[in-house]
Structure 1
Amino acid sequence: MGKAIDFKQIQLLIMDVDGVLTDGGIIVHSDGSESKRFCVYDGHRIRMWHRSGRLSAIISGRDSRPTTLRAEQLEIKYVHQGCTQKLPAFESLMGELDMRPEQVAYVGAALMDIPIVRRVGFGVAVANAAEDLKQVADWATCRPGGSGAVGETIEYILRQAGVWEPLMQRYRI
């Protein structure tokens, strides 16, 4: 990490879907519908993120019913899909939520994530991300997309912000 990051001010986590919340694979069924595999570990950490009082959002290049359903399950209120250019969706979110880019962490995997990763307070590339994205990211996960990379990112941010331990109290006897 080259720049100084104030993790306490990170209030919004934006995630790509394909290659981040999933491994990037898509199963297309004979009726034309599709399936995606999401990691439960990520889902649990997203719920912890929300319990810490923070917001989450999705900006995806593809429009997908499974993504909509998973976002609903995890109570992710801000979902932008079918974004061939992701920056306008990001700028729209900043306006809608009255936030500054420094307050945002973004987790991506693809080349189209580079413009946002360059602008946010904490830009993250998953372990199996495009090399060019890794070069501009502030941090890279050890876990690949679809296998807990988002959960790893959330835990890292919350630990750095000093709020992980209070969230863990509910799991201690």
Structure 2
Amino acid sequence: MMKRLDIKLIVLDVDGVLTDGKLLIGSNGVEFKSFHVKDGMGISLAKYYGIKVVIITGRKSEAVRIRAKELKIDYVYEGITDKLSVLKEIIKTLNLKPENVFFMGDDINDLPVINNVGFSAAPNDAAQIVKNAVDFVSNLNGGNGAVREVIDYILSQQDDYDYIVKNYVKEKIVINQ
């Protein structure tokens, strides 16, 4: 049985987590990334619940900045080789404890963060060493709803998930009839 979660900060890698990890680079040097809308809805739901969301990624990408702006991600750090140092600064700034932090990563460069947070997860197609180190392995691959699956799990462990969704729909989604 897993411990009760008290997550106040969601930290996500991008390539292989929010995307399928493929790098599509056109002949003009423009990079394209594919993001799953279900992950976006999960992030919106977590933010509605009051959880802050952070992206820490090793690459720099205009596509990431655009998607982060659309989702109103609280903090975006790109081109980061030492993700743990950045995370420690965020935790300090927000006056949180490591046990209040969730991180999702997919490869060996994410292991230092995975080993220093309260709850960690990986997509189903993550490196095996990462899957062995995390608390939760998604049934879904990166870029295919894995983030949403874990966010739904976190919210269901912290509160009445159906109640959260009901209120989110009532307040955030306008249905034209």
1:44 paired to 2:41: yes
Q: Aligned partners of 2:107, 2:134: CA distance in 1, in Å?
A: 12
Secondary structure in structure 2 of the residue aligned to 1:146: coil
1:127 paired to 2:124: yes
Secondary structure in structure 2 of the residue aligned to 1:154: helix
Name the residue aligned to 1:5. Answer: 3
Name the residue aligned to 1:89. Answer: 86
1:111 paired to 2:108: yes
Name the residue aligned to 2:31. Answer: 34
Which whole-Å deviations, capped at 9, do the CAs of 1:58-88 have from their partners, x for residues lacking one?
0101111111111000000211110112111
Secondary structure in structure 1 of the residue aligned to 2:55: strand
**Structure 1 gaps, min length 5:** none
Q: Aligned partners of 1:118, 1:154: CA distance in 2, in Å?
A: 19
**Structure 2 gaps, min length 5:** 171-177
Q: Aligned partners of 1:5, 1:26: CA distance in 2, in Å?
A: 37
Q: Aligned partners of 1:163, 1:98: CA distance in 2, in Å?
A: 26
Name the residue aligned to 1:77. Answer: 74
Q: Aligned partners of 1:6, 1:60: CA distance in 2, in Å?
A: 28
Of residues 22, 26, 36, the one that matches 2:19 is 22
State the 1:43 CA deviation: 0.3
Q: Aligned partners of 2:32, 2:160: CA distance in 1, in Å?
A: 35
Q: Give the TM-score normalised by the residue count of structure 2.
A: 0.91
Identity rate, percent: 37
Which whole-Å deviations, capped at 9, do the CAs of 1:150-169 have from their partners, x for residues lacking one?
00010000011123121221
Q: Aligned partners of 1:163, 1:82: CA distance in 2, in Å?
A: 37
Q: Which runs of 4+ in 1 moved over 2 A?
A: none
